[in-house]
Amino acid sequence: MVNRILIRIKVLQIVYAYYQNGNGNLQSAENDLQFSLKKSYELYLSFLLLLIEVTHLQSQIIETKKEKYIPTQEELNPNMRFVNNRVIAQLAADKGFWQLIKENGISWDNDEDFVKRVLELILSSDLYAEYLEAEEDSYEHDLQFWAKAFKQLICDNEMIEEHLEDKSIFWNDDVEIIESFVLKTIKRFKETQPATSALQPMFKGEEDRTFAIKLLRQTFLKKEEYRELIGRYLTNWEADRIAHIDMVILQIALAEIFAFPTIHTSISMNEYIEIAKYYSSPKKVPFINAILEAIIRDAKRDHKLLKE
């Protein structure tokens, strides 16, 4: 689940914060990076658990209404399609999923009002009404409901994002990318397979875990070398005025370009240009792009960079 896009962003955040604070402790930075990546995985699992929690809450509400002194016919015979959703039932019955929840200490127990607001968001939607009224009643239909509900109602929802960011400062820049991982997971559920087969591990393989630590180490250990290299391509005016975040983006980009021979320079270039668009400013993107292109061109010419 923790892919290289997220790793690059986390390394940028850690390096920027450490340089701002004047902290050069590499071991401490590595610990913070691994903790931050773990928190991202917790957000992924928290989203999946949230689907179970809103379903469970609706089930409780239905049972409470049945116990009223004089319940209506609708309350006695409610439409149970939402609470009996096969995909959520499959996930809720999966022991492997609950083991991950336990291992990561994830719970919505202290967020009852938030869970209620998310449920109300779903129940008030046209999508929910259409789901209950549809003639089709199948696993695939249940799956499509949650795929659409998550994408249309939960993703990019301001109320949800604000609550998540308040719940953990480590989630401030994670929500959008983690939402995309959750949506992919929902779409991967299969009726004939256990729910855990659709879940993504924290790292796809040891290569990504190694990539994260190595990228951080190279950035820290070769700070002066990379900054001196960057400085050769800056005019006096630019050197005095380059933003700190732009210098950090360039520095991490160079660490990846020079320290990872199997990653094409074009891939690294594109990734850090995209990062610059978000963390710097659109006006700075051509500047960052030009610096990286010039350094790569000259390094290849001088046989200091022997890869495509």
Instruction: Going from the first residue of the chain to its last (308 residues), give the mean pLDDT of each consecutive group of 10, the final group possibly shorter.
Output: 93 94 90 96 98 98 89 88 98 97 97 98 98 96 98 97 94 92 97 95 92 97 95 80 93 97 96 95 92 96 86
Cβ 33 vs Cβ 212: under 8 Å: yes
pTM of the model: 0.92
Q: Which of 266, 235, 269 is nearest to 252 (CA)?
A: 269
Q: CA 194 to CA 180: how far, in whole Å?
A: 21
Q: How far is CA 13 from CA 6, 8, 28, 174, 204, in A?
A: 11, 9, 14, 11, 22
CB 181 within 8 A of CB 202: no
For residues 289-302, b (16+ Cβ closer than 10 Å) or e, as one string? eebbeebbeebeee
CA-to-CA distance for 76 and 70, rounded, in angstroms?
10
Q: How far apart are CA 248 and CA 254, in angstroms?
A: 10
Question: What is the pLDDT at residue 251?
Answer: 97
DSSP-assigned states of every residue in 41-62: HHHHHHHHHHHHHHHHHHHHHH
The pLDDT score that the predictor gives to residue 193 is 96
294 DSSP 8-state letter: H
Instruction: Output the six-digit token pair for 201.
Output: 């591990």
Kindly list the distances between the CA atom of residue 34 and the CA atoms of 125, 188, 211, 260, in Å, as whole numbers in the listed order.
39, 27, 12, 20
Helices (H), the chain: 4-21, 26-66, 73-76, 86-92, 95-103, 112-123, 126-133, 139-149, 158-167, 175-188, 206-221, 223-231, 236-241, 244-259, 265-279, 285-301
pLDDT at residue 67 in the model: 84
Count of CB atoms situated within 10 Å of the CB of 184: 13
User: Which pLDDT does position 77 carry in this prediction?
Assistant: 87
| H or E stretch covering 124 | none
Q: Are 199 and 100 within 8 A, CB to CB? A: yes
77: region left, alpha or beta (phi > 0 left; psi from -120 to 50 alpha):
beta
**pLDDT confidence of residue 236:** 72
The predicted pLDDT at position 237 comes to 66
Rounded CA Rg of the chain: 24
